[in-house]
Amino acid sequence: MSTLILDTETHDLNGYPIEIAYAPCSFEQGVLVINQGEVFDEYFSCPEPIALGALATHHILEADIAEKPSFDTFRMPQGVQYLIGHNIDYDIKAVQKCQPDFSVKGICTLALCRMVWPELPHTLSAMYYHVMDDLELAR
């Protein structure tokens, strides 16, 4: 498992990770392949309350994380060389709060979107609508 698509949600800006999700992927003959059987998405507790701004962004409530393992119990799978994500440096820093010695190469979809479509909004949801053919499915 050398490449993961990663997303984290934190309790505050640059805070503790309270949700970590990843999907192992590979590129085979130019096609992105997701290993659905190894997708990971879990909540984690943290020592501080969820900030209002974070709550408004990800909608994770204190009750959602109350009985979950502490964020610092999380470990990335062995052998990860690349992480793909929107503003991936933020997610890497969140993971490093759990695993300070974790080092990886990031592939930032936000930077790629800004390069390819400089005139468009670059939020993940805007980009999703832009690249999807079926807007009903995207919704």
Instruction: Report how many domains make up the chain.
Output: 1
- Element containing residue 91 per DSSP (H, E): helix 88-98
| pTM metric for this prediction | 0.93
pLDDT tens profile 72-116? 999 999 999 999 999 999 999 999 999 999 999 999 999 999 999
Q: What does each C-alpha distance from 78 to 9, 29, 30, 46, 75 come to in angstroms?
A: 22, 25, 25, 24, 9
Q: What is the CATH number of the domain that holds 75?
A: 3.30.420.10
pLDDT tens profile 44-80? 999 999 999 999 999 999 999 999 999 999 999 999 9
Domain of 63 in residue numbering reads as 3-138
